Amino acid sequence: MPVRRRKKTGKSDRPVTSFISTYENKVDRKGRVSVPAAYRSALGTETYQGVIAYPSLIDGAIEAFGRGMLDELNRRKLDQTLDGGDYTQALVGRSDDGLVETIMAISSELPFDGEGRIILPARLTEHAGITDRATFVGRGTRFQIWAPEVYEKHQLAEVEALRARLSGGGIQ
With CA atoms as reference, report the closest residue to 68 among 87, 85, 88, 51.
51
Q: Which stretch binds DNA (CB under 7 A): 23-31, 71-79, 83-91, 150-158?
A: 23-31
Answer yes or no whether residue 149 interacts with a copy of itself by CB under 8 A: no
The C-alpha atoms of residue 136 and residue 34 are separated, in whole angstroms, by 10
Cα–Cα distance between 49 and 111 in angstroms, integer?
6
Residue 115 binds to DNA (criterion: CB under 7 A):
yes
In angstroms, what is the minimal distance from the CB of 11 to a copy of itself? 6
Examine residue 23 and tell whether it contacts DNA (CB under 7 A): yes
Q: Which stretch binds a copy of itself (CB under 8 A): 25-33, 45-53, 112-120, 126-134?
A: 45-53
Contact 17, 66 (CB under 8 A): yes
Candidates 81, 116, 139, 155: give the one binding DNA (CB under 7 A): 116
Q: Which is nearer to DNA, 38 or 150 (CB)?
A: 38
Window of 25-33, 77-85, 112-120, 126-134 that interacts with a copy of itself by CB under 8 A: 77-85
Sheet bearing 143-146, strands edge to edge = 22-26, 133-138, 143-146, 62-65, 50-55, 108-111
Using CA atoms in the order 2, 11, 111, 36, what is the torsion angle rounded to 10 degrees? -40
Q: Between residue 24 and residue 53, which ones bind DNA under the rule CB under 7 A?
A: 25-26, 28-31, 33-38, 40-41
Q: Rounded to 10 degrees, what is the CA torsion of 32, 33, 39, 45?
A: 10
User: To the nearest whole angstrom, how small is the minimum distance from the Cβ of residue 6 to a copy of itself?
Assistant: 10
Residues that bind DNA (CB under 7 A): 2-3, 5, 7-9, 23, 25-26, 28-31, 33-38, 40-41, 111, 113-117, 119
